[in-house]
Amino acid sequence: GQQLNQSPQSMFIQEGEDVSMNCTSSSIFNTWLWYKQDPGEGPVLLIALYKAGELTSNGRLTAQFGITRKDSFLNISASIPSDVGIYFCAGLAYSGAGSYQLTFGKGTKLSVIP
Amino acid sequence: GAVVSQHPSWVICKSGTSVKIECRSLDFQATTMFWYRQFPKQSLMLMATSNEGSKATYEQGVEKDKFLINHASLTLSTLTVTSAHPEDSSFYICSASRPGGWLSTEAFFGQGTRLTVV
Task: Pick A102's closest partner by Cβ from B31, B97, B103.
Answer: B97
**In the prediction, which pLDDT does B118 show?**
94
Amino acid at A78: A
Do B65 and B80 contact (CB within 8 A), yes or no? no
The Cα–Cα gap between B46 and A47 comes to 21
**In the prediction, which pLDDT does A102 show?**
79
Chain B residue set in contact with A, beta carbons under 8 Å = 1, 4, 6, 31-32, 34, 41-44, 46, 49, 51, 91, 93, 95, 97, 99, 102-112, 114
* Contact at CB, A44 and B109, closer than 8 angstroms: yes
pLDDT < 50 stretches in chain B: none
Which residue from B minimizes the CA distance to A45? B108
**CA distance, residue A6 to nearest chain B CA (Å):** 11
**In the prediction, which pLDDT does B14 show?**
94
**In the prediction, which pLDDT does B53 show?**
78
The Cα–Cα gap between B92 and B36 comes to 6
**In the prediction, which pLDDT does B112 show?**
93
The Cα–Cα gap between A72 and A54 comes to 10
**In the prediction, which pLDDT does B104 show?**
59
The Cα–Cα gap between B3 and A24 comes to 28
